[in-house]
Structure 1
Amino acid sequence: MCGIAGIFHIGTAKPVDPVRVEAMTDAIAHRGPDGSGVWTAPGVGLGHRRLSIIDIAGSPQPMGYADGRLQIVFNGEIYNFRALRAELETRGHVFRTDGDTEVILAGYAQWGVDCLERLHGMFAFALYDQAERTLFLARDRLGVKPLFYTALSDGSVAFASELKALLVHPLLRRVPDERAVEDYLAFGYVPDDRSIVHGVRKLAAGHHLTLRSAGGLAQPSRWWDVDFTQRSKANAGELEEELLAIMREAVVSRMVADVPLGAFLSGGVDSSSVVALMAEASRRAVTTCSIGFDETGLDESDYASAIADRFATDHHARVVGADQFDRIDRLADIYDEPFADASALPTLSVCELAREHVTVALSGDGADEALAGYRRQVFHAAEERVRGSLPARLRGTLLGGLGAIYPKADWAPRPLRAKTTLLSLARSGEEGYADALSVTGPDTRQALYSDSMRGTLGDYRAEKRLIRLMRDAPARSGLDRAQYADLKFWLPGDILTKTDRASMAVGLEAREPLLDHRLIEFAARLPDNMRVRRGQGKWLMKSAMERYLPEDILYRSKMGFVTPISAWFRGPLAGEARAMGTRSALARTDWFDGEALERIAEEHIAGRRDHGRLIWQMLMLDKSVERLFGG
């Protein structure tokens, strides 16, 4: 796992100052504390920071190939690199190293862009062809590894693993993108391919981009997508065995490392499944790491301990205080862009614990997206059945009318929030699911914005991108479309961003076996009732894992990392909440109505309404704006 950065000039062979590239890589030194390198040639400069995982002494980067014609900087892991290497050797390629980086170079020399389809793993890389004077940028299928890029005023394009590396370039103008603010308030993160800094983009998951020395800035091309239009005709038993075989292969392939390796263990279905399969494949005790909370209602450590005992792991646990608000500034530094998922705090804690014992940790990320494990997906599937049984006009008139007059009950469990359900059913499935994914609804956002911000945004609404994505999805059912949205939008924007930045901040490599693309493609072919049955998501996976895991792990309610943010803003952070409208960086942007911000703070502090999640969003946006734009 590493950090990459570089500069490429379009239309000229202007020299690239290696000191500038080095400054960019120094900004992301946490991603690669074990070494660094810079390579330059007329019109191009590539930089690298290395976290040594495989072939520790023999694969420094930037790396050349074919007598130096090809040069690469690479962040990630290719899990099938040994099989690819053997195939390439039969085609005459000779290797000098024992790692996966040189295999990418040889694969590109042999197959060109088509090499991407042969790579099994997580990656973002930049490959320069000196003969063609082209720079090839690529990102893995699901977006596990990040890649930012921007066009600069001198005709160059700069790229990097994190935004902070681009920010050190003196030609990058730090101007905010108001549409990214709208996106962030809607979803709690800035989704691909936008960035909070105007003119900076993220290369979207499953895309590549070729930059040529002669020509303008090209548009990215999609090289991978997940297809939900096919259905398997196998029976449940056959599908269980196929799923287990894929999961075993995914786990085993991610256990290859020349450094200490372990796993995150929360005690939930996903991480417990990964640990079970690791223990099955390993000759020694698996190292597992988990954190617990000092508040009983938030703590899952007993479940993690039970799994650790069941599989005799070398278990390391730590109890952390639920009040971690003193680490908010640390989060803002790690994520650069505003990021409102409060579970980033405990994620950082478990990464810190893991790094004390291992350099690589396997996680359970991805199963909820692939196999329909989120409650919102299960609810959406049920709502779609109702939509299918009622005419759209009747739904809009009758259910929409009932929803408008029904009292709001955010405090109630989701099944009892009839207002939310009725309003969702009155709309299309795509509109309803966009609302389920959103953190702050459009009406609330509009009420918070200033007149000038409303004028700047015009008719732009963040949800439109997600609705369009779902309507264009290669899918057969509403459940398909919901999962497609989660895989393409939510997963790279929230889950993978959270894990990548938190793990890389402490020099830890996180690997996600349940995001193996073969598992994703297999799951997309499952009939709906193999994913959701009797109100249970991930039905096939849970059924398959019954031979490994106890019932109280498989079928208890999902908890996840929980942070008591509402209590914080009625206690130690009440002053931060009150400052939003008048003394914060946000108050100086002219994006928001200061009185509206003050009102939500006072309502929350007085206990009249629960605005904790919204205030947390605004606080993280404030911290980001202060750092990026100086308030």
Structure 2
Amino acid sequence: MCGIVAIFNHDIQYEVDLKLLNKMNNSQNHRGPDDSNIWQDDGNKNIALAHTRLSIIDIEGGRQPLFDDTQTIGITFNGEIYNYIELRAELREKGYVFNTESDTEVIVNAWLEWHADCVKKLQGMFAFVLWDKKNKHLFAARDRLGIKPLHYSKADDQSFLFSSEIKALKCNDKISLALNSQAIEDYFSLGYILEPKSIYKSIYKILPGHYILLDQNKPEQLINKCYWDPLDYINVDSQNFDQETVQLKLNEAIKKHLIADVPLGVFLSGGVDSSALVALISQIKPEPVTTCSIGFDLLKYDESYYAEQVAKYFNTTHFETNVSVNDLSLVANVIDVFDEPFADNSAIPTLILSKTTREKVKVALSGDGSDELFLGYRNYQMLQLEERFRGVIPGFIRKPFFSFLAKIYPKLDRAPRFLRAKSTFQALVNNPITSFHRAMSIINSELLQQVYSYQFKEKLAGYSSEDEFKLLAKQVNHLPTLKQIQYIDFKTYLPGDILTKADRASMANSLEVRVPFLDHKIVEWGLGLAPKLNLRGSKVKQVLVKSLKGLVPEFVLERKKMSFTSPLDEWMRQIPIETLENKIFTNAFVNADIFNISQVKSLIEEHQNRQQNHGVFIWALLIFEAFLSKEESL
């Protein structure tokens, strides 16, 4: 795993500043502390590539930037190509020469053979920038699911810059750092920023399954093309499945994800996904699997006991670490790692887990992606229940009736789950996409509109992150609502939150994380499963669970799902209200003029007085303040 940088200008008289290139590259050293190199074309000094390397495959021969045997195709690459051995054999038969055993060299020869279509041949996680000296083409691509990041910007001097992380682009003072108001709305409604936006107006993320092509001879042209989309595979064609087929697919993917010249391990929570990885790896590898888990100081959120039980069952070499309220001191570290506001409350636990894991292994496998693929989230269950109500109660009765119930029913955040009906009543008033957006939000849209300042609402001009959800739903409106929601998750939450968290938290600790459930062949198959196959009453992920019978212990398969989250509501209440307010309402925060300060204070008081739960929103405010203060200090 690595950090990549590229600078390109259409003007052949332009000369890349190598000091700037080095500075950008060094800012990402945590992504690849094993090696660092830069390259500039002798004939075209307007193009330069840089690379910082975490050596995983072909440790000696895989140095980058790397060129093909003809020295015409250069690349800086981040990721792993799991089918590189097969591709190398295919390309050798076509006459291509290989000088290393690395997966990187496969990409440059694949470009020579298939040009832009080379990405369709790659099985893995990747982000790379490639320079074709002969055709004067710059090609930047990101993997299908967005496992690996790739940012880009156009500077005031008309040069294009690419990097793994935003911090590298910020090294160039010719890039505007004006904040994006729509990105701020995304953040405070969802806790992350919807791609391709970043927190800055002039910095973008290449979308998953997309590539950018620049031609030195056509400065007016920028090709930004989608080469893969879940849209092409999501349907309800598969009405049945068999255990053997599912296990075969998982086994094949995991075997490829185990290819490495360094030690590997598994993030183990004790849930179905990570236990499945341990079970299948234990069948493949003769030596004990290395597993790492994290526990919390509040028992309600702590899965470490279950992880320990799974570790004992499979005789793994197990390590455990813990996180408590004291680790909220890491707020500033979240900004350093993510480069923009990011409010997922499991970011700090993931950072701590990655640090501990890196002390034991260099590569870790994670169960990320399984919940999206096999409908494992509680939101899917709730939506299915809501849809049944919508199907039997006409809208002209349902809306006024449940609006009345939602209005009079108290919000019982602390009550048992079956008594917390207010949010369900509210959901039944809305259309399914609005209901889903509300469920995914860290604070409901009505409260958010109350706390926004008048000036900020003017800047938004009516924009809401819900608009993006509705646009995506329209693309699959021929499918059942559950499949529409699944599609939205694959296009928003998965790349913008889950995979962003996994990449930044792990790479901040020089750890590579692999996600076998997001092997694109498994995803293409899984997107065709009918919802009824995975959701059976209160049971979720039944395709995966049933395929693991006899392989994973029953105490895992029958256990109720716990989300990997932290106890933010209680952690926030352990902090005095004066401390919170002093930390949030700094000059940088107040002067940003985004919030009605008195309204925000009211929400904090409600939370601390246990009237309602606003812990995640308070956490988002703390993160945002840390971001603004850091910006002010630059």
1:219 offset after TM fit, Å?
Answer: 5.0
Q: 1:541 is matched with which residue: 544, 550, 555?
A: 544
Determine the C-alpha separation between the residues in 2 that align with 1:89 and 1:56.
22
1:322 offset after TM fit, Å?
Answer: 4.5
Superposition map of 1:327-406 within 5 A: 327-406=330-409
Mean CA deviation greater in 267-276 or 606-615 = 606-615
Q: 2:310 is matched with which residue: 294, 307, 310?
A: 307
1:262 offset after TM fit, Å?
Answer: 1.0
Matched, 1:623 2:630: no
Superposition map of 1:257-296 within 5 A: 257-296=260-299
> 1:5 is matched with which residue?
5
Q: 2:224 is matched with which residue: 220, 223, 229?
A: 220
Q: Give the secondary-structure state (helix, strand or coil) at the position aligned to 1:184.
A: helix
Q: Give the secondary-structure state (helix, strand or coil) at the position aligned to 2:538.
A: coil
> 1:176 is matched with which residue?
179
Q: Which amino acid aligns with 1:65?
A: D
Determine the C-alpha separation between the residues in 1 that align with 2:367 and 2:520.
14
Determine the C-alpha separation between the residues in 2 that align with 1:622 and 1:357.
35
1:407 offset after TM fit, Å?
Answer: 2.6
1:577 offset after TM fit, Å?
Answer: 2.1
Q: For the structure 1 residues 557 and 511, does the alpha-carbon distance in structure 2 shift closer, same or farther, using more than 3 Å as the test?
A: same
Is contact 2:325–2:571 with CA below 8 Å preserved after alignment?
no
1:609 offset after TM fit, Å?
Answer: 3.2
Q: For the structure 1 residues 473 and 627, does the alpha-carbon distance in structure 2 shift closer, same or farther, using more than 3 Å as the test?
A: farther
1:316 offset after TM fit, Å?
Answer: 1.6
Determine the C-alpha separation between the residues in 2 that align with 1:12 and 1:254.
42
> 1:470 is matched with which residue?
473
Is contact 2:296–2:566 with CA below 8 Å preserved after alignment?
no
Is contact 1:228–1:480 with CA below 8 Å preserved after alignment?
no
Query: Could you tell me the percent identity over the aligned residues?
Result: 39
1:575 offset after TM fit, Å?
Answer: 3.7
Q: Give the secondary-structure state (helix, strand or coil) at the position aligned to 1:384.
A: helix
Mean CA deviation greater in 14-23 or 214-223 = 214-223
Is contact 1:578–1:602 with CA below 8 Å preserved after alignment?
no
Q: 5+ unaligned residues in a row in structure 1: which ranges?
A: none
Determine the C-alpha separation between the residues in 2 that align with 1:545 and 1:323.
38
Is contact 1:430–1:470 with CA below 8 Å preserved after alignment?
yes
Q: For the structure 1 residues 474 and 498, does the alpha-carbon distance in structure 2 shift closer, same or farther, using more than 3 Å as the test?
A: same
Q: Which amino acid aligns with 2:432?
A: G
Q: Give the secondary-structure state (helix, strand or coil) at the position aligned to 2:292.
A: strand
1:390 offset after TM fit, Å?
Answer: 3.4
Matched, 1:157 2:194: no
Deviations 1:557-597 (A, max 9, x none): 22233323233333336344213664252112011112122
Q: For the structure 1 residues 298 and 576, does the alpha-carbon distance in structure 2 shift closer, same or farther, using more than 3 Å as the test?
A: same
> 1:58 is matched with which residue?
61
Q: Which amino acid aligns with 2:40?
A: T
Determine the C-alpha separation between the residues in 2 that align with 1:112 and 1:16.
26
Determine the C-alpha separation between the residues in 2 that align with 1:27 and 1:154.
22
Q: Give the secondary-structure state (helix, strand or coil) at the position aligned to 2:549.
A: helix
Determine the C-alpha separation between the residues in 2 that align with 1:113 and 1:219.
11
Determine the C-alpha separation between the residues in 1 that align with 2:580 and 2:387.
39
Is contact 2:413–2:612 with CA below 8 Å preserved after alignment?
no
Matched, 1:496 2:499: yes
Q: Give the secondary-structure state (helix, strand or coil) at the position aligned to 2:343.
A: coil
Q: Which amino acid aligns with 1:215?
A: P
> 2:39 is matched with which residue?
39
Q: Which amino acid aligns with 2:306?
A: Y
1:183 offset after TM fit, Å?
Answer: 0.6
> 1:607 is matched with which residue?
610
Q: Give the secondary-structure state (helix, strand or coil) at the position aligned to 1:263.
A: strand
1:13 offset after TM fit, Å?
Answer: 4.2
Determine the C-alpha separation between the residues in 1 that align with 2:87 and 2:378.
39
Determine the C-alpha separation between the residues in 2 that align with 1:184 and 1:198.
14
> 1:137 is matched with which residue?
140
Q: Give the alignment's Cα RMSD to 1 decimal.
A: 1.8
Q: Give the secondary-structure state (helix, strand or coil) at the position aligned to 2:464.
A: coil
Is contact 1:158–1:166 with CA below 8 Å preserved after alignment?
yes
Task: State how many pairs are aligned.
Answer: 629
1:106 offset after TM fit, Å?
Answer: 0.7
Q: For the structure 1 residues 195 and 508, does the alpha-carbon distance in structure 2 shift closer, same or farther, using more than 3 Å as the test?
A: same
Q: Give the secondary-structure state (helix, strand or coil) at the position aligned to 2:222.
A: coil
> 1:421 is matched with which residue?
424
1:436 offset after TM fit, Å?
Answer: 1.3
Q: For the structure 1 residues 390 and 472, does the alpha-carbon distance in structure 2 shift closer, same or farther, using more than 3 Å as the test?
A: farther
Q: Which amino acid aligns with 1:332?
A: I
> 1:103 is matched with which residue?
106
Is contact 1:188–1:339 with CA below 8 Å preserved after alignment?
yes
Matched, 1:68 2:71: yes
> 2:30 is matched with which residue?
30
Deviations 1:448-468 (A, max 9, x none): 111111111111111110121
Q: Give the secondary-structure state (helix, strand or coil) at the position aligned to 1:285.
A: coil
Deviations 1:346-378 (A, max 9, x none): 111111111111000111111000000001011
1:409 offset after TM fit, Å?
Answer: 2.6
Matched, 1:586 2:589: yes
TM-score by length of 1: 0.96
> 1:409 is matched with which residue?
412
Q: Which amino acid aligns with 1:380?
A: L
Determine the C-alpha separation between the residues in 1 that align with 2:148 and 2:489.
17
1:232 offset after TM fit, Å?
Answer: 4.2
Is contact 2:183–2:197 with CA below 8 Å preserved after alignment?
yes
Q: Which amino acid aligns with 2:315?
A: A
> 2:245 is matched with which residue?
242
Q: Which amino acid aligns with 2:561?
A: K
Determine the C-alpha separation between the residues in 2 that align with 1:248 and 1:576.
51
Is contact 1:263–1:362 with CA below 8 Å preserved after alignment?
yes
Determine the C-alpha separation between the residues in 2 that align with 1:136 and 1:425.
47
Q: Which amino acid aligns with 1:568?
A: W
Determine the C-alpha separation between the residues in 1 that align with 2:429 and 2:247.
40
Determine the C-alpha separation between the residues in 2 that align with 1:390 and 1:569.
40
Matched, 1:81 2:79: no
Determine the C-alpha separation between the residues in 2 that align with 1:252 and 1:268.
21
> 1:516 is matched with which residue?
519
Q: For the structure 1 residues 402 and 291, does the alpha-carbon distance in structure 2 shift closer, same or farther, using more than 3 Å as the test?
A: closer
> 1:571 is matched with which residue?
574
